[in-house]
Every structure is written in C-alpha cells, then in structure tokens.
Structure 1
C-alpha cells in the first residue's frame, strides 16, 4: 500500500532572501556612516553589521546586546593585556584563552566573533588611548546599530503559513481517501509520499510559527501555532491508522460503511470545525458495528478487531479537532 519513490527529482532554485537584501543594504550603509564620522577601521563597521543580521526581532535584540557587551569586555581585556604585556600574536592567543571562557560564563558567546574584530583593530594599532577606545566604541555603535535598525523590519509570515496550511490539508485529504480506497478494494497504487510531505510541512510550519512569535515580542498566543499543533496530533493518529488498514484481511458490509465514512472525511478537511457532526455519525456507525453478528473465523475476527481499533483512532482524531476551536455547525462540515 505504501511504496516509496526510488528516485527523487529536485530543482535548484536560487532565491534572494530578505536577510541577503538587508546585508547588501546594511553593509555599505554602515561603512558609509563610519567613514563620514571619521572612524578608524571604518570597513569593520560593515563586518559588524553583517554579523548582526538575524532572522527575527527577538534574536536581533538579543544578538545586539550580546555583541555590544562582548565588544566592551573585549576592549577592556585588550587594554589590560596589550598595554601591560605587549603587542604580539602570543598575547592575542593568551587573551582569547581568557576572553572566550568569560563570554561563555556570561552567556554572551554569540558576541565572540564580533568582538574579535575590535580586538584585532586594537592590536593592529600598536597603541591604545582613550581617543582610540572612543573611536572603536563609535564603530561598535554604528555597526551593531545599523544591523539592529534593519532587523526592525520583518516581513509577514502569514502567506507562508497559509500556504503550509493548504498543502497540509491537501495531504490529509489524500491520506484519508487512500485509506478509504484500501478498505474498500485493497488499492495498492498509492506511493505514500504525502506522509513524508506532512512531516516536512509540520516541521517547517513549526519553525515559521516560532519565528513569527519572535517577530512580535509582546504576543504570547499565535493562532497558527495552535492549528499546527492540532494537525500534528491528528497526523500521529493517521500514522497509527495506516498499519491497521494494511492488516485488514477481507472486507464485509461494515468495512464498506467505514470506507465511505473515511471518504466523506477526506472531502471535509479544512480549518472550520464541525467535527461534532462526524462524531455523531461515528456513534451511529459504532452502534451498527456492535450489532453485527459475531465473527465465526480467525480471519473475520482479525478484520473486526482492526476495524474496531480503527474506529477508536478516528474518534480520537475528531475529538482533537473538536477541542481545537468552537464548533462551526452552521458551516460546511470540517475535520
């Protein structure tokens, strides 16, 4: 029933993301500002900006703070080590051996790379005075500040989340329909690719939701997060149903009714919630199942047992949707 493709075809798509665009804009802007301010090593401002571009506002603020604090500590360490011990590569190594554990202890390790730029600038100067320290401090402000300002703009992820929602629901429809076909006539032509696609879509959607939450610092709830959590739980149940379906040795009157039920479900997968209607229909189906004559052979017994478990799994599937949101019984049936 579930065959996997032996050959996977793919395409290489070159996309320019918003982080790339921000980097391309921010780097020359930071360099230009630093150059206009007469900052020494003004090119380093561009490097600092590149290192500060992040995928979300929350990570941007944290990154900016970590990098700023690490740069300040790096400046202090540079004064102590270079001025007291000397300007040599060995001293740079010794200082880094002390500086890096310090950042790890203070939980600002992401700032190591950025602060290394400042350390090397101070080392290359062969002298450190107050004026040069202020010069590097201004470089830090320009570089990190430019990256932080650019990161204040984050594109909406609603379009991507909506796309993942539609694709996921489409795959659910296929899975439910293929289950119906197999129960009805043991159709084995399905390759099961929708199973893998669902796993990938749920993983990608979860990442998108978390990133969107990080872009809205004062939002604690997210409608899509609840939705994809609900679908993830339903998908687990669908995966548990598949082995049951493959172990159905024959078909009878009740199995045809169950196949029809799954087919109806496949036509009713979308965001609205009227799962209560399908639960009511399922109750009637279970009653009919219980009134059937007892099996007389091992094969019939196995069929009934697997069908019975299948009914319980699909009941859990529907109950998950019912808990997800208020019932929409005035709209088209949805699972």
Structure 2
C-alpha cells in the first residue's frame, strides 16, 4: 500500500487540529479534525480559497440558523428550514463547498439550544483550527518546475522525431498510420504535462506564472496542425525534384526545433521554397495539378505550424 504526501498531510493536519481544539477545551473538538480532513486541497491556492469560502460560509450559516432557531425553536423542523435557506443562498453566492461542514457546525447550536457568544466563538475556533492547519500543511508542495522543464525537452524531442519521419516518408503515403500513432502518443504526453503545469501555477502564492501552461497549450496547437499535415501526406505523390524543398524544410525544422527558436529563419526558408515552386513548370495533367495543390496546402499548414511558435515567442 502506497501512502501519498497528501494523505500524510491530511492525517497530521487533522491530528494537530484535534489536539489544539482539546487543548483550548473547545466543545465538539473532533469537528476541528474533520474540517482539516475536508480542507486539505491539491494546491496552495485551492486550500487558501477553501479556507476563505468556508469561513465566509460559516458567517452566513450562523446568521440564517440564528433566525430560523429563534423563530421556530431548536428543533428538526427549524433545522430543515435552515437547510432550505442556507443551501439556496450558498448556491447563489458560490459557497457550495461550505454547505456540509457548516451545517454540521450549526447542529452544535441546536444541540446546545443556544447562540451564546461563547458558543459562536467556539464554532469559529473549530473552523479556524481545521482550515488553518490544512492551509499550513499545504505549504509543503512538491516543486514541479524541474519536471516541467524535463517535459519540455521530451516533447521537443518527440516533435523532432516526428518531423524527421515526415521528411523520410514523403511520397510514401502508406506510412501515414505510423505517424498518426506517434501523434496520439505525443498528445497524451502533452495533456499530462498540461495538468502538471496547472498544478504548478496553482501552487504559486503571488505571481500567476502561467508560462508552462501556455507553452504546452502552444505545442498542443502545433500538434493539431501537424496532424493535418500528416493527413495530407496520404494524398501527396510528386516528383522527387518537386518534393525536395519540403523535405529540406522538415529536416532543418527538426534540427532546430527547440524552446528558444523563434521560427523566423524557418519562415524565411518556407517563403524561399514558395518562390522556387512558382518558377517551376505548370502541371501538365489533372493528377499532377491535384498533387501540386495538396503540396501547397501542406506548405500553408507548415507555415501556420511555425507561426504559432513565432507568435508565442513574441508574446512570452
């Protein structure tokens, strides 16, 4: 059985919250531990927002419970009316996360049949200890930056391999399925990297550093364009003399494919290939014309592929 970091943090936070509540001689002390269990989140920012929402929700719950119990008495009917009002208002205010835990705390008012200031303060201490210890232990988060940089290197290497194989398989339509399989594998890896990037961003207290998230989104967009290019390969077959320029473009792109490359040199190479093709003799048959048209479409997609990275570099 593998015990993860979050499980350890949850157990320790709950234990300390319960010990602190007992030390302060609070009523219903175990509630502090349960609140801690429910408040340990996946990220620092998630835990902070959970703490803020639950304290705000407790204020709302106390006000509504006070009105209901004072009018209807400390009985199950009053609690049911409280739930109707509290759930409706919480949903409207976006405080749904605090419905369950604060309704449990409200039952303490019903059990004690009191809204004495000391009891209200007791409930806020229970909430404060629970969310406080959860927030404290969520400061301990693994640093994903090194892993994200490794993900970048892996993705770039996978792109390089794809581009090299595309250059190799030009005029070999039967190889398209192999390339599409590799695209799907790369897409799966990028999706996983994006999830790690979101966690990394959510674990930053101050600056919202979304570079990695945006980087992987950019590579995903590029991959979608690359998939369109591979689809075209299945329908292109032209003379080697004509295909040479595209093969050269794919090869140099695979060699230069990297995070730091702004794509300007490759874009210049693409435009040069366009110019060379314009000087070639016109197609003589319908088949030649259709293949040449698909080749130009391939070049247009390739231009888009490089422009996506160029635009990302400009904005970063």
TM-score, length-normalised on structure 2? 0.87
The yes-or-no answer on 1:311 pairing with 2:299 is yes
C-alpha distance 238-145 of structure 1, shift in aligned 2 (>3 A) = same
Q: Report the CA distance shift for 1:76/1:321 in structure 2 as closer, same or farther (over 3 A).
A: closer
Q: CA deviation at 1:260?
A: 3.7
Aligned-pair CA distance for 1:118: 0.4
In 2, distance between residues paired with 1:265 and 1:190? 20
Q: Where does the alignment leave 5 or more consecutive residues of structure 1 unmatched? A: 1-13, 327-335
Out of 58-67 and 315-324, give the one that drifted further.
315-324
2:69 paired with 1:103: no
Q: Say whether residues 1:129 and 2:116 are aligned partners.
A: yes
Q: Does 1:247 align with 2:235?
A: yes
Equivalence for 1:196: 184
2:173–2:233 contact (8 Å) kept in structure 1: no
Is 1:48 equivalent to 2:40 in the alignment?
A: no
Please, what is the CA RMSD of the aligned residues? 2.5
What is the aligned length? Answer: 313
Q: Distance in 1 between matches of 2:249 and 2:171?
A: 11
Q: How much does 1:222 deviate?
A: 3.5
Q: Of residues 4, 28, 31 in structure 1, which corresponds to 2:15?
A: 28
Larger relative helix fraction: 2
Q: How does 1:97-246 map to 2 (within 5 A)?
A: 97-188=84-175, 190=178, 192-246=180-234
Q: Deviations over 1:147-168 (max 9, x none)?
A: 1222234332213322332332
TM-score between both structures, scaled by the size of structure 1: 0.83
Distance 2:211 2:116 in 1: 54
**Matches of 2:21 and 2:149, distance apart in 1:** 42
Residue 264 of structure 1: which of 226, 245, 252 is its match? 252
| Contact 2:173-2:235 within 8 A present in 1 as well | no
